[in-house]
Amino acid sequence: MVAALRWQVEAGADEAVGELPIDRYAAARAAKPAPTPAPTTSPKKSPPRPAPAPLVSAEAQRANARALAAGAGSLDALRQAVEDFDGCALKLTATNTVFADGDPSSDTMFIGEAPGAEEDRQGLPFVGVSGQLLDRMIACIGLERGGQGRAGAYISNMLFWRPPGNRNPSADEIATCLPFVARHIELAAPKLLVFVGGTAAKTMLQTTTGIMRLRGRWFEYETPDGATIPATPIFHPAYLLRSPAQKREAWRDLLAIKAKLDGA
Ligand code: URA
Domain hosting 195: range is 58-263
Average pLDDT over residues 174-199: 98
Rounded Cα distance between 169 and 115, Å, is: 11
Q: Indicate whether residue 182 lines ligand 1 (CB < 6 A).
A: no
Cα-trace Rg, the chain: 23
- How much of the chain, in percent, has pLDDT values that exceed 90? 77
Reply yes or no on whether the pLDDT at 51 is more than 70: no
Return the pLDDT at 53.
55
Min mean pLDDT across 55-59, 135-139, 206-210 is at 55-59
Mean predicted confidence (pLDDT) in 181-198: 98
Residue 106 lies in a domain: yes
**Does the structure show a pLDDT above 90 at 156?**
yes
| pLDDT tens sequence across 74-132 | 999 999 999 999 999 999 999 999 999 999 999 999 999 999 999 999 999 999 999 99
Mean pLDDT over the full length of the chain: 90
More confident: 2 or 67? 67
Does ligand 1 come within 6 angstroms of the Cβ of 131?
yes
The string of DSSP letters for 172-188 reads: HHHHHHHHHHHHHHHHH
In a domain? residue 139: yes
In a domain, 79, yes or no: yes
> How many angstroms does the Cα of residue 261 sit away from the middle of ligand 1?
23
Q: Is 165 part of any domain?
A: yes
Atom of ligand 1 nearest to the CA of 118: 7
What is the CATH number for 64? 3.40.470.10
Answer whether residue 142 is part of any domain: yes
How much is the pLDDT for 30?
74
Cα separations in angstroms, 147 against 42, 51, 71, 105: 77, 54, 29, 9
| Coil/strand/helix, residue 164 | helix
- Report d(CA 138, CA 140) in Å as an integer: 5
Identify whether the C-beta of residue 138 lies closer than 8 Å to the C-beta of residue 114.
no
Give the span between the Cα atoms of 253 and 237, in whole angstroms: 13
Determine the Cα–Cα distance for residues 193 and 138; give it in Å rounded to an integer: 13
Q: Which atom of ligand 1 is nearest to the CA of 119?
A: 6
Mean pLDDT computed over 215-224? 97
Q: What is the pLDDT of residue 56?
A: 82
154 within domain boundaries: yes
Rounded-to-integer distance, Cα 29 and Cα 234, Å = 55
Q: Is 61 in the pocket of ligand 1 (CB under 6 A)?
A: no
Provide the number of structural domains found in the chain. 1
Mean pLDDT of 210-219: 98
- Residue 3 domain-assigned (yes or no): no
Q: How far is CA 49 from CA 32, 45, 52, 53, 160, in A?
A: 20, 11, 8, 12, 37
Predicted confidence band of residue 33 (pLDDT cuts 50, 70, 90): low
Q: Distance from the CA of 220 to the center of ligand 1, in angstroms? A: 23
Q: Are 145 and 135 in contact (CB under 8 A)?
A: yes
User: What was the pLDDT predicted at 201?
Assistant: 98
Which one of 96, 99, 111, 126 would you pick to mutate in the ligand 1 pocket, going by the greatest count of ligand atoms within 8 A of its CB? 126
